[in-house]
Chains A and B, each alone.
Chain A
Amino acid sequence: MRILALSLALLAAPAWSQSPRSGLEFQGEDIRRLQGDDFANPAMLWAERGAAAWQRKQGAANTSCADCHGAVEQSMRGVAARLPAWDARLGRVSTLEGRITACITREQRAAEPAPESHDLVGLLAYVALPSRGMPLRVDVAGPAQASFERGRELYAKRIGQMNLACTHCHDRQAGKTLLAEKISQGQPTAWPAYRMEWQAAGTLERRLRACFLGVRAEMPNYRDDDLVALQLYLAWRAQGLPLEAPGVRR
């Protein structure tokens, strides 16, 4: 009997496991209201910038995103909720940012946009908008599996001077208070998002890099394979939660 109880306990989800909840639920009233107000949400300024960038012809090919893809409302509907995903042409798992930068360098034959440049963050926000409200659903099987497993491993791996893994804060301590803030589950549904701390909109990669710094670990470079793997794992972990991008966070 005792052995049965023990093995049942081992089979059951750990005590700290919770059903996925949007990071919005861990924000204060002002941020929740701001994200709900499409006029006042400052991230929409970036989306507007992205709308202009979508129409702008550039590069040696002198083409715009719209020349090939038409209106985002049709061509990009659902795309942001399915990424990161394996990209056969690139031969690796790619984020939405990876897809867009590949398109810019390969199709428009323009210079690769710098990480976190206003126009790039703007394009991410603008392309994500038609997928707002759609549940996250990423494919982690097949060729994406190795990256997914790497992401899962990184999520649980202790790093930095604080010797903490993602899971220590965002699973075991989620919902508890750190200084005056509620620790979130680390769900990635708002990104790109306007972050009060930055006084600007930025990508999930920028937010994750800040987490590495938070535990006093070495920050991976932007667009590093490990950051992509982590984003794939986070998207899988958040499956079913609706996309909120572009959102607002502390």
Chain B
Amino acid sequence: MTEAVNVGRLRVPPRAKRGEVVEIRLLLQHPMENGFRRDTLGRSVPRNIIHRLVAHYDGREILRAELGTGMAANPYFAFFTRAGASGEVIIEWEDDLGVKGSLRAPIEVS
């Protein structure tokens, strides 16, 4: 199972009232190999985790995460932001192999 994994899901409310606190949910497909496992032939499986994840909204950083080997595979996150202006939520991440990913979703603020 060494296929490239680049699937993710991002959910934000498409519309929000100014000042409203909205929930952002994120689910990424990633093995989060912790580097402590061995395969069926006894070979060590090298560590490969998403070690950094950043969320921006309306040009501002709302969350920055440094992740370790204790994060579950296919990591899930839910966090919040306060709706200011209409704009995009942008999530960017990078794993130990240097593979980068991003997801974006708009919020329309009234």
Contact = CB atoms under 8 A, between A and B. Distances in A.
Asked if A and B are interacting partners, one says yes
Contact of B25 (A39, A45, A46): A39
Interface in A37-69: 39-40, 42, 44-46, 48-49, 52
Given A42-B27, A45-B27, A199 B72 contact: yes
B13 to A, nearest CB: 13
A107 interface: no
B31 interface: yes
A224 to B, nearest CB: 19
A48 B8 CA distance: 9
Contacts of A44: 9, 27
Contacts of A117: 1, 3
Given A39-B9, A48-B7, A199-B72, A118 B31 contact: no
A200 interface: yes
A40 B29 contact: no
B9 A48 contact: yes
A116 B9 CA distance: 22
A45 B1 contact: no
Interface string B6-27: 0111010000000000000101
B79 to A, nearest CB: 14
Contacts of A45: 7-9, 27-29, 74
A119 interface: yes
A44 B76 CA distance: 12
Contacts, number: 43
B67 interface: no
A46 B7 CA distance: 8
Contact of A199 (B9, B28, B73): B73
A91 B74 CA distance: 39
B5 interface: yes
Chain A interface size, under 10 / 10 to 19 / 20 to 34 / 35 or more:
10 to 19
Given A39-B27, A40-B27, A45-B27, A118 B73 contact: no
Nearest to B11: A39
B5 to A, nearest CB: 7
Contacts of A118: 1, 3, 5
Contacts of A49: 7, 29
Contact of A119 (B3, B31, B72, B74): B3
Contacts of A48: 7, 9
Interface string A176-207: 00000000000000000010000110000000
A200 B7 contact: no
B1 A199 contact: no
B33 to A, nearest CB: 10
A246 to B, nearest CB: 13
A153 to B, nearest CB: 30
17 contacts: A39-B9, A39-B27, A40-B27, A42-B27, A42-B74, A45-B7, A45-B28, A45-B29, A45-B74, A48-B7, A49-B29, A52-B7, A117-B1, A118-B1, A118-B5, A199-B31, A199-B73
In the complex, the 4 A-B pairs of residues with the closest C-beta atoms, listed nearest first: A199-B73, A45-B29, A42-B74, A118-B3
